[in-house]
Structure 1
Amino acid sequence: MTARIGVVTFPGSLDDRDAQRAIRLAGAQPVALWHGETALRGVDAVILPGGFSYGDYLRGGAIARFAPVMETLVDAAKGGLPVLGICNGFQILCESHLLPGALTRNAHLHFRRRSQRLRVENTTSAFTGHFDAGQEIVIPVKNGEGRFVADERTLDELEGEGRVVVRYVDGNPSGAMRDIAGISNAAGNVVGMMPHPEHAVEALTGPSVDGLGLFTSVIAHLGRTAVGAGSSQT
């Protein structure tokens, strides 16, 4: 059965259609989800896309965390639903306390948009199983509030538990602590990253097709978990 992956649209979302296209190219069915509704429509995973939800008033993701859809999504994520937050979506995950730390203004106070080399540090999350540990990939970044920050205890915990998913190499575009570009929760089903994998899925338009791996990874993850669930019921 084809996996159904939801993409939430908030007021100010910019990359929801791009995420839907990436899902389709990866071989799954995109399902549009609306911020003002609580229903997740039976999806198998959810993408929180990039953009400027609610105009980034207060700070990125601070208002979106109170959207009706997030009430349902937070509970579903805690129950194991795979969730990927991209850029503004990463901010929303942190504001919702599904991921630790925060995303603040870039250290140099400038918006950065460029193709960025990353190193995949964790291949056990729901969204990175199709990569090799230490593999370097190129994915675009475009943000003004992309600097990941956390206290030293949290940073040490993320490092010690292998929850740093991707790390910047060949330059840190935001001044993120320890060059962190993306992290996961302890269970590995919730991932947030500042770079935009949905903009690196086609050779014609992206700097690479490396971003497609995040979408094919979750499809494979869903296939494995479905098989496991079926086996446990026999």
Structure 2
Amino acid sequence: MRIGVVTFPGSLDDRDAQRAIRLAGAEPVALWHGDHDLHGVDALVLPGGFSYGDYLRCGAIASLSPIMTEVIDAANTGMPVLGICNGFQMLAEAHLLDGGLIRNEAGRFICRDQQLRVENTSTDWTGGFATGQEITIPLKNGEGAFIASADTLERLEGEGQVAFRYLGVNPNGSLNDIAGVTNARGNVVGLMPHPEHAVEAGFGPDTADAMRSGIDGLTFFTSVIERALVH
């Protein structure tokens, strides 16, 4: 399986996403924001960072990059797409996911290992989890508070489109403790925490077993590979 990772000006975690894909057993393919070519990939990752310096709104300019025409078309035809942090902001700005992300409630950048509860295991990126499973992956953002209108929020909750929820601490003031959402089809998922930073023992969050041993993030990438094999 070939999974593309799009690099934008200001991307920080594109290489980390490529490494996560490789560790999961797929082939990472580097894609450039200024191109109109997805190079035949089977899935896509929009990585974290500060695309275009976060000018205007986080992810707003990136959502209009040339390659996003292809990303939107691919997503709308069913290709799995994962947006991580800044990538989640791009997906919201591109209207591939409902809601939006605004400045953290505390008004400052937050960096911490974050507990999440998996709410939806029917997506392309979450099939390897159990419903209700509690996982820990790093979070680092300044504008990660999820917002939506009352009607949109009710629909997301009612139709099971909340993919992840913050546990223990709501780090940014997100409505309903929402950490990540999916589209109705389940192929597009966005979340603020960074699964690509919890894929290799010795470099992940601390666990009860050992320091830096957490690899809960790896399941995002193995899930999409396993889903592709089934289909």
- Which residue identity lines up with residue 196 of structure 1 in the other structure? H
Aligned mate of 2:224, from 194, 218, 229: 218
Q: Which residue of 2 aligns with 1:124?
A: 122
Task: State the match for 2:97 in structure 1.
Answer: 99
What residue in structure 2 maps to residue 147 of structure 1?
145
What percentage of aligned pairs have identical amino acids? 66
Question: Aligned-pair RMSD on alpha carbons?
Answer: 0.4
Shift of 1:222: 1.0
**CA deviation vs aligned residue, 1:48-107 (integer Å, no higher than 9, x gap):** 000000000001001001100000110110000000000000000000000011000001
- Residues 20-50 of structure 1: per-residue CA shift (max 9 Å, x gap): 0000000000000000001000000000000
What is the DSSP-based 3-state SS (H/G/I as helix, E as strand, rest coil) of the residue aligned with 2:189? strand
Q: Which residue is 2:208 aligned to? A: none
Q: Which runs of 5+ in 1 are unaligned?
A: 226-234
- What is the CA–CA distance in structure 2 between the aligned matches of 1:51 and 1:23, rounded to whole Å? 18
Name the CA distance, whole Å, in 2 between partners of 1:16 and 1:59: 20
C-alpha distance in structure 2 between counterparts of 1:36 and 1:105, whole Å: 28
Write the mapping of 1:179-198 to structure 2, written as runs, cut at 5 A: 179-198=177-196
Q: CA deviation at 1:203?
A: 1.5
- Please give the secondary structure, in 2, of the residue aligned with 1:17: helix
Distance 2:44 2:65 in 1: 15
Partner of 2:39: 41
In the superposition, the TM-score normalised over structure 1's length comes to: 0.95
2:48 maps to amino acid: G
| Structure-2-length-normalised TM-score | 0.96
Q: Deviations over 1:95-152 (max 9, x none)?
A: 0000011000001101000000000000000000000000000000000000000011
Aligned counterparts of 1:222 and 1:78: Cα–Cα separation in 2: 17
What is the alpha-carbon distance in structure 1 between the residues aligned to residue 136 and residue 18 of structure 2? Answer: 20
